[in-house]
C-alpha cells in the first residue's frame, strides 16, 4: 500500500497539523485531529492507503492515542457524500456518531456518515482498518446510514464484512494490478451495501442473500490466489469457514466450474505477464502463474488459445489485447 502519512517525516510540532491535512484531503471533508499525549515528540502516526477504484479507498492507520472528530462548527463546510467503515484492531476508547455514544472496542465495526458530527477517541496506541466510500455507490440515504450504525451487529453480514476488511489489510501485497483492485472494490461495495441495507431494517426477519455476498468474497479470493500452485478446494473452503460440499453447492450458480475458473484466471495472468514482462522466460511465466512446469503450461495455453506462449507473445508484442485503437 502507498504511505499517505508518516509522522517520522515531520518535526514533532508539525505532526498534528500535517496528519489533519492528509486526512481531510483523503475524505474531502474538514475535521479535527488531536493526539492525546502532551509532548509532541510522543505523537506518532502512520497511514497507508490503497485506492481500489475511484470511489473506494482502503486505509490502515497505526498511531498513539488520538481523537478524530467533526463538530458542529465543521458542519458549515460541506463536501463529498462519503461514508467510513472502521474496524479497530487494537486500542480502546469511545465512539460518538450523530449524538449517540458507545464504547470503541477492538474487533467491533463502525459506520460513519463523514458529513455528520462524530468522534473516534482512542486512549492508547492502536490501529484500525478503514474503508471510505462514496455514499452513492451504496445507493442508500444518510438516514439509512445512521439507522444502520445503531444496529450494525444485527446484520447477518456483520462477520463477513469484518473478515473482509481484515483480509484487505492482510492481502494488500496481492492488490497490485488494476484488475485485482477493481475486483476487490466490486466485492467490497456489494458487501457494504448488503450490510447497511440489512442492518437498517426494522423487521428482524429481513435478511439479504448472504450466500450471494459470500460468493463475491470467494471470487475475489480466487483472483488474488489463483496463481498459487498449491491452491486447492479445501483451502478455498477453509478460508471462508465453509465445507467443500457447501463451496460446490454455492458454485453451481457460476457459468464455469471451479477448476475452469482457476485455469481461466491463470491464463489471464499469463497473458498479462507475457506482454508486460518480455524478458521473462516461458518457464518463469509458468511458475509465476501457478503451473507445474513449462511443458504443462504450454499444452494448456495451446489448448485454450490455439498457439504456443512464445507465438502468442510475438504476435501481441506491439498490439496487446484490449488496447484501444484510434
Domain enclosing residue 115, as ranges: 2-225
Which pLDDT does position 320 carry in this prediction?
A: 54
Domains in the chain: how many in total?
Answer: 1
Given a cut of 90, is residue 129 above it in pLDDT?
Answer: yes
Of the ranges 57-71, 77-91, 114-128, 254-268, which one carries the lowest mean pLDDT score? 77-91
Q: Is residue 199 part of a domain?
A: yes
Q: pLDDT: is 275 or 60 the higher one?
A: 60
Q: Indicate whether 61 pLDDT > 90.
A: yes
pLDDT of residue 282: 92
pLDDT at position 325: 43
Q: What is the pTM of this model?
A: 0.72
Q: In what order do the strands lie in the sheet with 32-35?
A: 32-35, 66-70, 118-122, 93-97, 100-104
Integer Cα distance of 223 and 205 in angstroms? 34
Question: What's the confidence (pLDDT) of residue 58?
Answer: 94
Give domain status of residue 62, yes or no: yes
Percent of the chain with pLDDT over 70: 94
Q: pLDDT for 175-227, tens place per residue? A: 888 878 888 888 889 889 889 988 887 554 445 445 567 787 788 788 888 88
Torsion of CA 318, 320, 323, 326, to 10 degrees: 30
CATH number at residue 133: 2.60.120.10
| C-alpha closest to that of 183 among 166, 197, 164 | 164
Q: Is residue 220 part of a domain?
A: yes
Is residue 185 one of the residues assigned to a domain?
yes
- pLDDT tens digits along 17-57: 999 898 888 888 888 898 988 787 888 999 999 999 999 99
Helix (H) or strand (E) holding 21: helix 15-27
Does residue 142 lie in a domain region?
yes
Look over the chain and give the mean of its residue pLDDT values, rounded to a whole number: 85
Q: What's the average model confidence in pLDDT over 51-77?
A: 88
Whether 284 is in a domain gets the answer no
Domain annotation covers residue 90: yes
Tell me the backbone φ, ψ of residue 96, rounded to 5 degrees: -130, 130
Amino acid at each position: 500500500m502507498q504511505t499517505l502519512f508518516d509522522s517520522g517525516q515531520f518535526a514533532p510540532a508539525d505532526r498534528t497539523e500535517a496528519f489533519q491535512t492528509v486526512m481531510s484531503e483523503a475524505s474531502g471533508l474538514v475535521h479535527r485531529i488531536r493526539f492525546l499525549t502532551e509532548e509532541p515528540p510522543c505523537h506518532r502516526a502512520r497511514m497507508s492507503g490503497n485506492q481500489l477504484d475511484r470511489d473506494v479507498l482502503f486505509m490502515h492507520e497505526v498511531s498513539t492515542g488520538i481523537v478524530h472528530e467533526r463538530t458542529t462548527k465543521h458542519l458549515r463546510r460541506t463536501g463529498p457524500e462519503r461514508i467510513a467503515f472502521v474496524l479497530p484492531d487494537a486500542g480502546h476508547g469511545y465512539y460518538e456518531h450523530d449524538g449517540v455514544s458507545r464504547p470503541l472496542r477492538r474487533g467491533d465495526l463502525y459506520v460513519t456518515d463523514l458529513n455528520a458530527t462524530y468522534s473516534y477517541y482512542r486512549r492508547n496506541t492502536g490501529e484500525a482498518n478503514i474503508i471510505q466510500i462514496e455514499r452513492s455507490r451504496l445507493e442508500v440515504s444518510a438516514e439509512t446510514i445512521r439507522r444502520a450504525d445503531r444496529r450494525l451487529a444485527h446484520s447477518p453480514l456483520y462477520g463477513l464484512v469484518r473478515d473482509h476488511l481484515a483480509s484487505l489489510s492482510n492481502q494488500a501485497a496481492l492488490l497490485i494490478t488494476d484488475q485485482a483492485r477493481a475486483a476487490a472494490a466490486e466485492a467490497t461495495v456489494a458487501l457494504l451495501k448488503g450490510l447497511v441495507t440489512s442492518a437498517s431494517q426494522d423487521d428482524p426477519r429481513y435478511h439479504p442473500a448472504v450466500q450471494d455476498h459470500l460468493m463475491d468474497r470467494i471470487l475475489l479470493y480466487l483472483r488474488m490466489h489463483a496463481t498459487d500452485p498449491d491452491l486447492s478446494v479445501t483451502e478455498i473452503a477453509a478460508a471462508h469457514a465453509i465445507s467443500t460440499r457447501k463451496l460446490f453447492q454455492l458454485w453451481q450458480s457460476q457459468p464455469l466450474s471451479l477448476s475452469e475458473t482457476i485455469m481461466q484466471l491463470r491464463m489471464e495472468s499469463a497473458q498479462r505477464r507475457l506482454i508486460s514482462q518480455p524478458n521473462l522466460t516461458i518457464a518463469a511465466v509458468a511458475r509465476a502463474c501457478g503451473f507445474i512446469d513449462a511443458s504443462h503450461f504450454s499444452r494448456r495455453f495451446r489448448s485454450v488459445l490455439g498457439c504456443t506462449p512464445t507465438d502468442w507473445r510475438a504476435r501481441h508484442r506491439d498490439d496487446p489485447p484490449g488496447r484501444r485503437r484510434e
